[in-house]
Copies of this chain bind each other. A is one copy, B any other.
């Protein structure tokens, strides 16, 4: 498995709304940094951060337009460009994202997403 394949599986877990599968792919010390909104650490931090929002969505569709990698699953880096779509009630919330994933020993140790906070907030309150 390559770092890119590992990240593709991680994205697929979210698209299946399978938070447990996704969390199984992160390191115990994983930092999840939602750059303009703050960061959490570890599987429990990630669960607490994402579970309520995922529960609000009846569909999640993260569309990857570009993904590039270096290294191996023992020491690798992946970046991707995505359109993260969340179906809430009767509308799709869409946010353009660039993500960074650092991989060590088959686990994600850093997940950092870049996006525009206001674009997200305006859709949440729409």
What is A's interface to B at a CB cutoff of 8 Å?
Answer: 35-36, 66, 68-70, 77-81, 96-100, 102, 112, 114-119
Contact partner of A36 (CB less than 8 A), chosen from B68, B99, B102, B119, is B119
* Residues A115 and B114 in contact, CB atoms below 8 Å apart: yes
* Residues A98 and B96 in contact, CB atoms below 8 Å apart: no
Contact partner of A68 (CB less than 8 A), chosen from B68, B118, B119, is B68
**Copies of this chain per assembly:** 2
Supposing A81-B79, A100-B81 touch, asked if A68 and B70 sit within 8 A by C-beta, the answer is yes
A118, B119: Cα distance in complex, Å: 10
A120, B118: Cα distance in complex, Å: 12
A36, B115: Cα distance in complex, Å: 8
With CB as the reference atom, state the residue of chain B lying closest to A82: B114
A79, B35: Cα distance in complex, Å: 17
Chain B residues, Cβ within 8 Å of A117:
116, 118
Chain B residues, Cβ within 8 Å of A99:
98
